[in-house]
């Protein structure tokens, strides 16, 4: 099988793209565009950089993925079940869509010791005001993997994976990267949209 090597230069502006060995999602420091590599070719993705009144220490990438969601069984019964057991999914069924936030960066076992920021954003979406581009990297999870992780998050909200699979039909619609600004405070990273925190060493393979 032929292996095609792709130079790490932005296909839009030709700026060199810095990347670590674990990265699969790349962000141009010059034009701000984001890319994955599929079968040796660059694939551009939508990237939004959230604005912040406070000066950030670093921007970290999160996938914001939208799915369609509908009942596999009788709709009235499924809605009644989730109204009692998982109101978030009940509301999603009414809207026929659901959005999930997933860290695009790799995480260590320290990620869940403070606030689960992806889950918090999923349950209580922050207001995103697009701002200027900022240097951003640490993109480990490509879209295909993030889509599956998002379904696992929804199953976790359901509380029972078997029930989730049997009663709900969830299909990918679209996804984009949102750069989230973080401040650094004595080994803690605090996101600047809602104030949720994680340990700085929760970001896999880097020192922040």
- For residue 123, being part of any structural domain is answered with yes
- For residue 78, being part of any structural domain is answered with yes
pTM for the whole structure: 0.92
- For residue 31, being part of any structural domain is answered with no
Buried b (16+ CB within 10 A) or exposed e, 38-53: eeeebeebebbbbbbe
- For residue 175, being part of any structural domain is answered with yes
Per-residue pLDDT in tens (0 to 9) along the chain, 208 residues: 444 555 688 888 999 887 776 788 999 989 999 999 887 788 999 999 999 989 999 999 999 999 999 999 999 999 999 999 999 999 999 999 999 999 999 999 999 889 999 999 999 999 999 998 888 878 899 999 999 999 999 999 999 999 999 999 999 999 999 999 999 998 999 999 999 999 999 998 777 7
Domain count of the chain?
1
Residue 39 is predicted with a pLDDT of: 78
Q: Rounded to whole angstroms, how far apart are CA atoms 150 and 94? A: 19
- For residue 145, being part of any structural domain is answered with yes
- For residue 5, being part of any structural domain is answered with no
> By residue range, what is the domain housing residue 198?
46-132+141-202
- For residue 59, being part of any structural domain is answered with yes
Residue 157 is predicted with a pLDDT of: 97
Residue 3 is predicted with a pLDDT of: 47
- For residue 84, being part of any structural domain is answered with yes
The set of residues, in sequence order, having a beta carbon less than 8 Å from that of 45 and lying 6+ positions away, is: 25, 34, 35, 36, 143, 175, 176, 177
């Amino acid at each position: 099988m032929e292996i095609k090597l792709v130079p790490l230069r932005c296909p839009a502006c030709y700026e060199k793209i810095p990347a670590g060995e674990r990265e699969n999602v790349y962000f141009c420091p010059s034009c701000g565009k984001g890319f994955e590599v599929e079968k040796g070719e660059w694939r551009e993705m939508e990237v939004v950089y959230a604005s912040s009144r406070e000066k950030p220490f670093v921007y970290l990438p999160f996938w914001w993925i939208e799915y369609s969601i509908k009942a596999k069984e009788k709709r009235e019964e499924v809605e009644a079940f989730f109204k009692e057991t998982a109101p978030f999914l009940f509301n999603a069924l009414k809207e026929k869509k659901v959005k999930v936030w997933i860290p695009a960066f790799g995480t260590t076992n320290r990620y869940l010791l403070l606030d689960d920021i992806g889950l918090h954003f999923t349950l209580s979406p922050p207001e995103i005001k697009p701002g200027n581009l900022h240097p951003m990297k640490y993109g480990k999870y490509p879209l295909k993997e993030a889509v599956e992780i998002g379904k696992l998050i929804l199953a976790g909200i359901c509380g029972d994976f078997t029930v989730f699979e049997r009663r709900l039909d969830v299909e990918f619609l679209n996804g984009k990267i949102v750069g989230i600004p973080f401040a650094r405070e004595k080994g803690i990273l605090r996101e600047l949209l809602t104030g949720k925190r994680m340990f700085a060493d929760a970001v896999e393979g880097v020192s922040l």
